[in-house]
Structure 1
Amino acid sequence: MGGRWRNAAALLGAAEATDAAGRARIALAAVEVALDQDWFTGTSTAGERLRTAEKAWAESGAGDRWDLDFLWLRHDYLARLRVDGQGLSLSPRGKDPEALAALRRRVEELRDRAPGALRAGWAEMYLGLIQDNLFAERATAPTHYERALSAGERGDDLLAREALRHLGDHDHDAGDHARALERWQRATALGARAGAVCGTLSQQMLLAVLARDRGDEAGATSLATEIARWAGALGAGHLETQARNFLAGVDPTAPPEQ
């Protein structure tokens, strides 16, 4: 996403399809935009878009609803996290053991019935995220990220970028900063090539972390200052606040508060 969520939503809203299947595809694209906006700005637009997509999907008469179910999963995953300038923490909904177990079962089922390797790779990615961020099962999550990376390297830069981002996070926590740097630099390039402006800025935030780890405080400060400036111009409030908090000494790589 290029950070132009309102423009994208308006263009999709103005798009006309001649058949129900086309309307369903437009509705799904609108959910993608809303999820990205909600993550980076703290809005809550995806729920309404998902309900619209449900109606459009039913009217289309399409059989396999994997894409719609996966969007619901992403929405419900986000609802269990509190994302702000301090990083990630669990929301009240993220502390319900039964709800978390049900969410993990859903992503496992999506992986098992995925129509193709790329969709299976995205399910693996979210299985890793759920284990990492909701269950704090740090030891097992990288296996899923590796599988996601393998799938992404066969044709999806955004999936490969996500996997490298989180594998690098584990490298960083293990003290292997050279490996983390390699993965995070590659993730930054892949995100830029895919047009993910906010995702690329958030990836550069991790490069600022490594600069600080190496003792290059001037480099870390310069990079974080520009990230805050860009994020502010885009309206990505969470990212801007994270960059400014980093400048004040906050570590954005700290694991979610359980």
Structure 2
Amino acid sequence: MAFTVNAVIPVEELIAAAHELSITGRWERASRLLDACTADEPGPRARIARAAAQVALEQDWFAGTDTATVRIEVAEKEFPGGDWDVDFARLRNTYRRLLVVDGRLRLGPGGKDPAALAFLLREAEGLRDGAMDEGRRGWAEMYLGLITDNHFADLAGAPPHYASALRAAESDDDPLLAREALRHLGDHDHDAGDHARALDRWRRATTLGAAAGTVPGTLAQQLLLAVLARDSGDEAGARALATEVERWAGAIGAPRLAAQARGFLAGVDPTAPPAESGP
């Protein structure tokens, strides 16, 4: 028997609860929570729609689904005058859809529409320049780095964006942004052969992600620590870490991360660029 409970919940508490569920990998639960709530006033209704789009983005990235586009369109209708956060959600979704094709990463510009990539970069620059606070500016800088890195293969141009994002994260006390910036700065340290600095940054990123409650993000960091363990000659430790990452990722419904861990166990370096752009 189903019961309906009418309760007055502050919208900020509702959104915070959905966010915490989302970063732990409980995306469907977070979406159902938001969908179950109704708001008569346009402001709260718009904020709930925006939060639902943000949850869908997290789910699509880790679970390999494709739910964010519709959610973002709904949120855009709730903000007829425009909204920075919804625009940023659209940017993140476009970035992902250009990067992950048929479940596989397509790094670099090969096989992609140059006009679409140039537009994506301009959108990120516009969001950075139009950000109303340091935290949002930092997230826009983070995506400028990711676009520069992963879509344009500009390995020298990306780290300054990550460094700027890290400064913003520290100023705004945003552990999730700091984790992202440290993760990708560590990638560049690793590629340059500076494994000590990569280890320091990746350990800090792992700690920040765990403290913030991001289960899939922390597992992704653990896989990078496994990479460094293998690089240092600790194959047993590397395999032990990767085995647990694969087990946990499968359990929470993050198939792409689980596949990366299986690939690592088979000898694939998940940090290595592909031999050529494209699938």
Q: What TM-score do you get using the length of structure 2 for normalisation?
A: 0.87
Paired position in structure 2 for 1:123: 140
Q: Does structure 1 residue 106 correspond to structure 2 residue 123?
A: yes
Q: Considering only aligned residues, what root-mean-square deviation do their CA atoms show, in Å?
A: 1.7
SS of residue in 2 equivalent to 1:255: coil
Amino acid at match of 1:43: T
SS of residue in 1 equivalent to 2:213: coil
Deviation at 1:229, TM superposition (A): 0.6
Deviation at 1:16, TM superposition (A): 2.5
SS of residue in 1 equivalent to 2:105: strand
* Equivalent residue for 1:147, pick from 155, 164, 188: 164
Would you say the 8 A contact 2:108–2:153 is kept in 1? no
SS of residue in 1 equivalent to 2:33: helix
| Alpha carbons of structure 1 residues 123 and 70: separation in structure 2 relative to 1, 3 Å | same
SS of residue in 1 equivalent to 2:79: helix
Paired position in structure 2 for 1:225: 243
Deviation at 1:126, TM superposition (A): 0.3
Would you say the 8 A contact 2:182–2:205 is kept in 1? yes
Deviations 1:13-41 (A, max 9, x none): 01222411111111111111111111111
Q: Does structure 1 residue 166 correspond to structure 2 residue 188?
A: no
- Percent of aligned pairs sharing the same letter: 65
* Equivalent residue for 2:222, pick from 204, 209, 222: 204
Would you say the 8 A contact 1:34–1:45 is kept in 2? yes
SS of residue in 1 equivalent to 2:148: helix
Would you say the 8 A contact 1:84–1:242 is kept in 2? no
Amino acid at match of 1:2: T
Would you say the 8 A contact 2:109–2:152 is kept in 1? no
Would you say the 8 A contact 1:204–1:227 is kept in 2? yes
Q: Does structure 1 residue 241 correspond to structure 2 residue 263?
A: no
Number of residue pairs aligned between Structure 1 and Structure 2: 253
Supply the distance in 2 between the matched residues of 1:36 and 1:234 (Cα, whole angstroms). Answer: 13
| Alpha carbons of structure 1 residues 181 and 217: separation in structure 2 relative to 1, 3 Å | same
Paired position in structure 1 for 2:70: 48
Amino acid at match of 1:145: Y
Runs of 4 or more above 4 Å deviation: 90-94
Supply the distance in 2 between the matched residues of 1:200 and 1:84 (Cα, whole angstroms). Answer: 24
SS of residue in 1 equivalent to 2:106: strand
Q: What TM-score do you get using the length of structure 1 for normalisation?
A: 0.94
Would you say the 8 A contact 1:88–1:255 is kept in 2? no
Q: Does structure 1 residue 26 correspond to structure 2 residue 44?
A: no
